[in-house]
Structure 1
Amino acid sequence: MLRVGAHTSIAGGVHNAVTEQLDYEGNCGQIFSHSPQVWQDPNIDPENATQFREQSADNDIGPWVIHSSYLVNLCTPKDDLRAKSIDSMQREVDAADQLGIEYVNVHLGAHTGAGVEGGLDNAASALNELDVPDDVTVLIESDAGSGTKLGGQFEHLAAVQDRTDLDIEFCLDTAHAFAAGYDISGPDGVAATVTEFDDVVGLEDLACIHLNDSKHACGTNKDEHAHVGEGEIGEAGMRALINHEDLRDVPFVLETPTENGKSFEWNVQRVRELREN
């Protein structure tokens, strides 16, 4: 079954994310547990959490992903930021457990002078500090790779997996991968990129795909999302991703913009149109 959905809001209660997902005709999705621009604890009412779990089950919506705060930086060499990042991630995995959510997604962050190897070591050791509930998995998301940010190369993802004791999996963001230099604008490029991901990281650990087109060219390291099939990746690339035999069963979560009269609902429908039986 094609699993495709969007990032939805928890305004008014986390259970409202399910209602919003149904409005988009999505059957999986992603949320923030709080505003991602600030250090803030998830504020989840137990009754709303029960409603979220029950409504998701009743409508066969899943898997869900919690996206961590944008402030989290696992690679940082700064002790105070590292401590805040670990604390924030612990609260996210606990919130996921409360909500029956399978995944918590996080970017590696930036090494800010520690160097690539130092940053990767920092990320792995930060992950080791987490006490992750049995039914929750941390996903490391691929990055666009600007500045000292890590995660733009598949080798970064594999290195963290090798160095941490935590059982982690991965989220591949198509716009980020494209911005980082993986040309997925056509079938050949998609096939080559999927093969490389499998060789370096392993497709068995690919748990989610952020299916976003890109407003900027391949290799620019610019992270700005476009509607499915209407950016620089384009329809041919998106079609190849959606129908690749090794990706067909991976859930697609949209983080596409709301502009030009098109919203998440339009993009969910576009994915369904591009899917071939």
Structure 2
Amino acid sequence: MTLRVGAHTSIAGGVHNAVEEQREYSGNCGQIFSHSPQVWQDPNIDDENATQFREKSTDNGIHPWVIHSSYLVNLCTPKDDLREKSIDSMQTEVDAADLLDIEYVNVHLGAHTGAGVEQGLDNAASALDALDIPDGVTVLVESDAGSGTKLGGDFEHLAAVLDRSEQDLDVCLDTAHAFAAGYDLSTATGVEETITEFDDVVGLEHLACVHLNDSKHECGTNKDEHAHIGEGRIGEAGMRAFVNHEAIRDVPLVLETPTENGKSFAWNIERVAELRA
């Protein structure tokens, strides 16, 4: 079983540069934004850059890739204008993934902002159903830290959207988000219980990707701030148990760890490799 671990890399200067950056970190899978995630903007990827990205990824054995959707997307929103913008933005993302031969597009469900949990989940499922998703591209619903009216903190939210949508969806589990939402991953027992619950509620067959991040905050605080692998509140014991769990061993691990204290993505990727038995 090959360890698939990589980082979120930049497309500055052209999307093909993300592959070169991934190589510098010794990653063999990865994630990108197709544009700035803080503005409503369409991807600006020309055919030449797309060809370079595809060829370099293949030549260097870097796969799979994930496109992370804009932070502005809110699938749960009851507001018609924001809903339409979110659907339009997601359509450009799945089309960009198709152009780049990227397998996954990752998205947070967003916040129901007072509409209620059930209505928010219905809104998310129907927004996803409005997409024309190309063959070979799968949308991943990401687990959330669960603050405020944001949905996706409970595994039941993820399962509900997968059940209510007509699309063939899968899930990206973020370890820092799950921990913040109350799933204790800091011990081998906690990891086993969390993965068992995920399987019971969502189904491990839907776990397509993991955002592997430690957490700067305690379990159940709903605070989303990532830490270096093994150096946060999940800690070394929890991370070791997680990356070595049989259900995780073939799942690609994408890091969104910070660059601070002299430690970068390269350090964190090496750390994951060390923890993997």
Bucket of the pairwise TM-score, normalised by the shorter protein: over 0.9
1:25 is the counterpart of 2:14: no
Deviation at 1:45, TM superposition (A): 1.5
Distance 1:63 1:14 in 2: 15
Q: Tell me if 1:244 matches 2:245.
A: yes
SS at 1:91 equivalent: helix
Distance 2:7 2:198 in 1: 24
The CA distance in 2 between the partners of 1:49 and 1:56, in whole Å, is: 11
Name the counterpart of 2:160: 159
**Helix, strand or coil: the match of 2:272?**
helix
Structure 1 partner of 2:177: 176
Amino acid at match of 1:252: L
SS at match of 2:210: strand
Q: Deviation string for 1:153-206 (max 9, x for gaps)?
A: 000000001101011000000000000000000100000000000000000010
Q: Match of 1:240, as an amino acid?
A: A
For 1:25 and 1:12, the matched residues in 2 are separated by: 20
In 1, the alpha carbon distance for the partners of 2:29 and 2:51 equals 18
The equivalent residue for 2:72 is: 71
Is structure 2 residue 113 aligned with structure 1 residue 115?
no
In 1: Cα distance, 2:145 partner to 2:49 partner? 35
- What fraction of aligned residue pairs are identical, expressed as a percent? 82
Q: 1: CA distance between counterparts of 2:121 and 2:247?
A: 28
Paired position in structure 2 for 1:84: 85
| Residues 109-134 of structure 1: per-residue CA shift (max 9 Å, x gap) | 00001100000000000000000000
Give the 5 Å matches for 1:180-259.
180-259=181-260
- Which one-letter code corresponds to 1:118 in the other structure? Q
Deviation track 1:191-245 (CA, whole Å, cap 9, x = no partner) reads: 0000000000000010000000000000000000000000000000000111001
1:3-152 alignment, distance < 5 Å = 3-152=4-153
- State the 4+ residue runs in structure 1 displaced beyond 6 angstroms: none
Q: TM-score, normalised by structure 2?
A: 0.99
Q: Secondary structure at the match of 1:210?
A: strand
Letter in 2 for 1:225: H
**Residue 158 of structure 2 aligns to which amino acid in structure 1?**
L
**Which 5+ residue runs of structure 1 have no aligned equivalent?**
none
Counterpart CA distance in 2 for 1:224 and 1:234 is: 14
Give the Cα separation in 1 of the matches to 2:203 and 2:43.
32
Specify the alignment match of 1:266 in structure 2: 267
Structure 2: which 5+ runs fail to align? Answer: none
What secondary structure, in the 3-state scheme, does the structure 2 residue paired with 1:22 have? helix
* Equivalent-residue separation in structure 1 for 2:239 and 2:46 (angstroms): 38
1:68 alignment partner AA:
S
Alpha-carbon distance in 2 for matches of 1:114, 1:145: 16
Name the CA distance, whole Å, in 2 between partners of 1:154 and 1:275: 26
Deviation string 1:58-114 (CA, Å, 9 cap, x unpaired) is 111000000000000000000000000000000000000000000000000000011
3-state SS of paired residue (2:166):
coil
Q: What's the offset of the Cα at 1:275?
A: 0.5
CA–CA separation in structure 2 for the residues paired with 1:246 and 1:137: 20
- Output the CA distance in 2 between the equivalents of 1:162 and 1:254: 28
